[in-house]
Amino acid sequence: MGVKTAFYGIMVALAACLVVVRMMKEDGMVGRGVRVIGRNTVRMPRMRVRAEKSSSLDALSSMLGGLEPEKEVEKPTVQIPQPEISSESFNKLEAILSQPEVDNSKLAAELDSLRQQGILKKWGSASANLQSRRINMQQLQSVGLQKPENIAAGSVDDDLALLVVYVMASSVLAVIAGQVLPGQLGFFVPYLIGGSSLVLLTIGSTNPGLLQGPKEAIAKLNPEYERRLVRHEAAHFLTGYLLGIPVTDYDLRTPTGQSPHVEFAQFMEDGNRASEMVSKSELEKLGPLAMSGLAAEGLEFETVKGGQADLFQLQLLLDRSDPRLTPVEQQDFTRWSVFKAVDILKTNAKAHDKLTEKMTEGQSVIDCIKAVEGF
């Protein structure tokens, strides 16, 4: 070991000397080479030393055996085979959805099968690691909600517009009646027409559902009505799909007095339709689904007009929760549901935009699913 160590020490010293000499030649410190032959000394003429690209490490390697520096080996690129997607891939799914009564179990099984084949990559992708927690108003505002404090309050813009229109119309009719009708009729009829505004207020306070039709008719005059409605329902569709809740149908062109809606096949853990108590795991999926329409409006508009219906649906779920939740826990869960819905919508903003376009055009459920998947 001592001899070997000494040998390598000598080699290192010689390599270092060689490097120093080369550096001195490059800097012009060595002007003439000297060769000694016996006792005679012959001075050699000055020579210019061309700078070499080799480093001290290369010189040391050559002294110790001419080792070449390691070359980088290119790693072969592994291409993951992509599944072939054609119109035939959705034939079975289309057949299930085309039935008058959709078989929810078969629908869910087919969606799961398409996901396992790598065709539907986003189906159920947001259902993992759902864990409700306490959320405050500042956190809701930080994720993009313009006015989270007004979400539960709803909007009275449509009610006010209906009242203003009715009062103006009844006032005009009262004036006309007073001018046209003869005698006592021209005196009493204008008062009756003007007093009918009180009847409208009474109906709005006791049974506002009766005024839904007139309110929607006036709301449609607003340019943002159509976009607000479609964005709301598209958010329900998208969130349900990403949470693994099958969509069976949707309808935006409903008759007067009915609300646009998206129909879902809701399942309990045992596969049955959710009609009894709701477990915590199911509640953590259905909560964000219920709040998604409200969240979509809150992200884009200062007021939320469809929030009351969403909150009512969530309350029905909370009333069936197992275990039961206290009022404080229900409030915390409601805020978390809104927070989670916002997170899902913002993460999948492009899919939400594409789905909005398809639903505006009235495309089928399968075409909407393709839009979400990016086909």
Can you give the pLDDT at residue 212? 67
Q: pLDDT by residue (tens digit) across 280-339?
A: 888 999 999 999 998 998 888 877 877 788 888 899 999 989 889 999 999 999 999 999
Amino acid at 105: S
Is the pLDDT reported for residue 225 higher than 60?
A: yes
What is the per-residue pLDDT for 355?
Answer: 96
CB 298 within 8 A of CB 304: yes
Q: Is the pLDDT score of 131 beyond 50? A: yes
Per-residue pLDDT tens over the stretch 228-257 = 889 999 999 999 999 999 999 998 875 544
- What is the reported pLDDT for 88? 75
Q: Provide the 10 A C-beta neighbour count for residue 18.
A: 15
Residue at 269: amino acid letter: E
Average pLDDT over residues 37-58: 42
- Beta strand 247-251 pairing with 278-279: unpaired
Q: Residue 39: how many CA atoms within 13 Å on its side-chain side?
A: 0
Stretch 186-200: mean pLDDT: 79
Supply the mean pLDDT for the chain.
Answer: 75
194 vs 177, 187, 200, 206, 250, CA distance in Å?
Answer: 11, 12, 11, 20, 42
Does residue 53 carry a pLDDT above 70? Answer: no
Q: How many CA atoms lie within 13 A of 212 on its CB side?
A: 14
Residue 6 half-sphere exposure, CB side, CA atoms within 13 Å?
Answer: 3
Q: Closest by alpha carbon to 355, among 223, 241, 222, 225?
A: 241
For residue 96, is pLDDT > 70? yes
Q: How confident is the model at residue 356 (pLDDT cuts 50, 70, 90)?
A: very high
17-21, 114-118, 330-334 — which is least confidently predicted?
A: 17-21
pLDDT score, position 78: 52
